[in-house]
Chains A and B, each alone.
Chain A
Amino acid sequence: MISPLVLETSVLFLGLCLLLFEAFVPTPTRRNFGLLAIAGLAVVFVLSFFTKTSVQFGGFYVCDGMGLFFKQLALLTTLVVTIMSMEYSSTIQRLVPAEKPGAGLGEFYAIPIFTCAGLMWMASAADFIMIFVSLELVTISFYILVSFLRRSRPSLEAGTKYLILGALSTGILVYGITWIFGVTGETNLAAIREAAAEVGGKNQMALLFGIVLVLIGLGFKIAAAPFQFWVADVYQGAPTPVTAFLSVGSKAAGFIVLLRFLSVFLPIPVVGEKLTFGLSILAFCTLIYGNFAALPQTNLKRLLGYSSIAHAGYLLMAVVALSGPAADAQQAIAFYLAGYLVMTLLSFLVLIIASNQLQGDDISHFNGLGKRSPFLAFAMLVSMMSLAGVPFTVGFFGKFMVFKVALEAHLFWLTAIGIISVGCGFYYYLKVVKAMYWNASNPDAASHFPVAPITRATIFAAIAAVFILGVYPAPILHLLGK
Chain B
Amino acid sequence: MNILLHLIVLLPLGAAIAVLLGAPARKTSLGASVTALMLTILTIVAYLKTDGGFQFGGGFSVVPEWDLKYFLGVDGLSLAMVLLSTIVTVAAVWVTPKVENGENAFYACLLFIAAGAIGAFLSLDLFFFYAFHELALIPTFILIGVWGSGEKQQAAWRITIYLAIGSIILLAGLIGVYLSFPADLRTFDIPELHRLSKTTAFLPGKWIFPTLLVGFGVLVSLFPFHSWAPKAYASAPAPAAMLHAGVLKKFGLYGMLRIALPMFPLGIQQYDYLILILLIGNILFIGLATIAQKQLDSTLGYSSVMHMGYIYLGIVSMNLTGLNGAALLMFAHGLSIAALFAMSGMIRERTGTLELSDLGGLGKRAPVLMFCFGLATFASIGLPGFGNFAAETMVFFGAFSGGFEANAFAVGSFNFHQIATVVGLWGVVISAVYMLRAYRKIFMGDLVARWAGISDIAATYKIPLVLLIGTLLVSGLYPKGFLQLVGPTLSRLLP
Find out whether the CB atom of B70 lies under 8 angstroms from the CB atom of A471.
yes
- Which A residue's beta carbon lies closest to that of B152? A438
Q: Which residues of B contact A381 (CB under 8 A)?
A: 138
Contacts A391-B134, A407-B179, A437-B146 given; does A474 touch B62 at CB 8 Å:
yes
Find out whether the CB atom of A474 lies under 8 angstroms from the CB atom of B172.
no
For residue A49, CB closer than 8 A to chain B, the reply is no
Contacts A407-B179, A422-B164 given; does A415 touch B172 at CB 8 Å:
yes
Contacts A426-B160, A426-B164 given; does A419 touch B172 at CB 8 Å:
yes
For residue A433, CB closer than 8 A to chain B, the reply is yes
* Residue interface bits A429-447, CB-to-B below 8 A is 1, else 0: 0100110011000000000
Find out whether the CB atom of B63 lies under 8 angstroms from the CB atom of A477.
yes
* Total contacting residues, chain B, CB less than 8 A: 36
For residue A50, CB closer than 8 A to chain B, the reply is no
Closest Cβ–Cβ distance, residue B10 to chain A (whole Å): 13
Of the listed stretches A136-144, A276-284, A396-404, name the one at the interface; the rest are far from the partner chain.
A396-404
* Residue interface bits B74-102, CB-to-A below 8 A is 1, else 0: 00000000000000000000000000011
Q: Which residues of B contact A472 (CB under 8 A)?
A: 62
Find out whether the CB atom of A403 lies under 8 angstroms from the CB atom of B161.
no
Find out whether the CB atom of B164 lies under 8 angstroms from the CB atom of A437.
no
- Which B residue's beta carbon lies closest to that of A331? B65
Bound together, the chains give a CA A407 to CA B180 distance in angstroms of 11
Across the interface, A433 reaches (CB within 8 A) one of B134, B138, B161, B175, namely B138
Across the interface, A422 reaches (CB within 8 A) one of B20, B138, B168, namely B168
* Residue interface bits A378-407, CB-to-B below 8 A is 1, else 0: 100100010011111000100010011001
* Residue interface bits B152-167, CB-to-A below 8 A is 1, else 0: 0100010011001100
Q: Which residues of A contact B169 (CB under 8 A)?
A: 419
Contacts A385-B138, A408-B179, A474-B63 given; does A392 touch B131 at CB 8 Å:
yes
For residue B176, CB closer than 8 A to chain A, the reply is yes
- Which B residue's beta carbon lies closest to that of A477? B63
Q: Which residues of B contact A403 (CB under 8 A)?
A: 171-172, 175
For residue A229, CB closer than 8 A to chain B, the reply is no
For residue A292, CB closer than 8 A to chain B, the reply is no
Bound together, the chains give a CA A476 to CA B172 distance in angstroms of 24
Find out whether the CB atom of A407 lies under 8 angstroms from the CB atom of B175.
yes
For residue B137, CB closer than 8 A to chain A, the reply is yes
Q: Which B residues between 349 and 396 are near A, CB-CB below 8 angstroms?
A: none
Across the interface, B165 reaches (CB within 8 A) one of A327, A419, A471, A473, namely A419
Find out whether the CB atom of B62 lies under 8 angstroms from the CB atom of A423.
no
For residue A449, CB closer than 8 A to chain B, the reply is no
For residue B207, CB closer than 8 A to chain A, the reply is yes
Q: Which B residues between 124 and 167 are near A, CB-CB below 8 angstroms?
A: 127, 130-132, 134-135, 137-138, 141-142, 145-146, 153, 157, 160-161, 164-165
Q: Which residues of A contact B70 (CB under 8 A)?
A: 471
For residue A412, CB closer than 8 A to chain B, the reply is yes
For residue A427, CB closer than 8 A to chain B, the reply is yes
Across the interface, A391 reaches (CB within 8 A) one of B63, B131, B142, B207, namely B131
Find out whether the CB atom of B157 lies under 8 angstroms from the CB atom of A427.
yes
Bound together, the chains give a CA A423 to CA B165 distance in angstroms of 5
Find out whether the CB atom of A404 lies under 8 angstroms from the CB atom of B175.
yes
* Residue interface bits B205-220, CB-to-A below 8 A is 1, else 0: 0010000000000000
* Residue interface bits A200-223, CB-to-B below 8 A is 1, else 0: 000000000000000000000000
Q: Which B residues between 89 and 125 are near A, CB-CB below 8 angstroms?
A: 101-102, 105
Interface size class on chain A is 35 or more
* Residue interface bits B57-72, CB-to-A below 8 A is 1, else 0: 0000011010000100
> Most chain-B CB neighbours within 10 Å: which of A400, A412, A426, A471?
A426
Closest Cβ–Cβ distance, residue B242 to chain A (whole Å): 22
Find out whether the CB atom of A427 lies under 8 angstroms from the CB atom of B161.
yes
Closest Cβ–Cβ distance, residue A222 to chain B (whole Å): 24
Q: Which residues of B contact A400 (CB under 8 A)?
A: 127, 171, 175
Find out whether the CB atom of A423 lies under 8 angstroms from the CB atom of B134.
no
Find out whether the CB atom of B172 lies under 8 angstroms from the CB atom of A407.
yes
Bound together, the chains give a CA A438 to CA B134 distance in angstroms of 21
Find out whether the CB atom of B142 lies under 8 angstroms from the CB atom of A407.
no
> Most chain-A CB neighbours within 10 Å: which of B20, B169, B175, B176?
B175
Bound together, the chains give a CA A433 to CA B176 distance in angstroms of 32
- Which A residue's beta carbon lies closest to that of B148? A438
Find out whether the CB atom of A438 lies under 8 angstroms from the CB atom of B153.
yes
Q: Which residues of B contact A433 (CB under 8 A)?
A: 138, 141-142
Q: Which B residues between 166 and 221 are near A, CB-CB below 8 angstroms?
A: 168-169, 171-172, 175-176, 178-179, 183, 207
Find out whether the CB atom of B62 lies under 8 angstroms from the CB atom of A392.
no
> Most chain-A CB neighbours within 10 Å: which of B102, B132, B171?
B171
Contacts A403-B175, A430-B141 given; does A390 touch B134 at CB 8 Å:
yes
Q: Which residues of B contact A396 (CB under 8 A)?
A: 131, 134
Q: Which residues of B contact A392 (CB under 8 A)?
A: 131, 135
Q: Which residues of B contact A371 (CB under 8 A)?
A: 101-102
Q: Which residues of B contact A390 (CB under 8 A)?
A: 134-135, 137-138
Bound together, the chains give a CA A412 to CA B172 distance in angstroms of 10
Q: Which residues of A contact B137 (CB under 8 A)?
A: 390
Bound together, the chains give a CA A385 to CA B127 distance in angstroms of 18
Closest Cβ–Cβ distance, residue B251 to chain A (whole Å): 13
Contacts A427-B161, A433-B141 given; does A412 touch B127 at CB 8 Å:
no
Q: Which A residues between 131 and 155 are near B, CB-CB below 8 angstroms?
A: none
Closest Cβ–Cβ distance, residue B175 to chain A (whole Å): 5
- Which B residue's beta carbon lies closest to that of A391? B131
Closest Cβ–Cβ distance, residue B70 to chain A (whole Å): 7
Q: Which residues of B contact A422 (CB under 8 A)?
A: 164-165, 168
Bound together, the chains give a CA A417 to CA B466 distance in angstroms of 49
Find out whether the CB atom of B161 lies under 8 angstroms from the CB atom of A426.
yes
Closest Cβ–Cβ distance, residue A372 to chain B (whole Å): 13
Q: Which residues of A contact B146 (CB under 8 A)?
A: 437-438
Chain A to chain B contacts (Cβ below 8 Å), 16 pairs: A327-B183, A328-B65, A371-B102, A385-B138, A390-B134, A390-B135, A391-B132, A392-B131, A396-B131, A400-B127, A408-B179, A430-B138, A433-B138, A434-B153, A471-B62, A473-B62
The 3 A-B pairs with the shortest beta carbon distances in the complex, nearest first, are A391-B131, A423-B165, A426-B164
Apart from A392-B131, A474-B63, A477-B63, list 6 A-B contacts with CB within 8 A: A371-B102, A390-B138, A400-B171, A403-B171, A404-B179, A426-B161
B-to-A contact residues, CB < 8 Å = 20, 62-63, 65, 70, 101-102, 105, 127, 130-132, 134-135, 137-138, 141-142, 145-146, 153, 157, 160-161, 164-165, 168-169, 171-172, 175-176, 178-179, 183, 207
A-to-B contact residues, CB < 8 Å = 327-328, 370-371, 378, 381, 385, 388-392, 396, 400, 403-404, 407-408, 412, 415, 419-420, 422-423, 426-427, 430, 433-434, 437-438, 471-474, 477
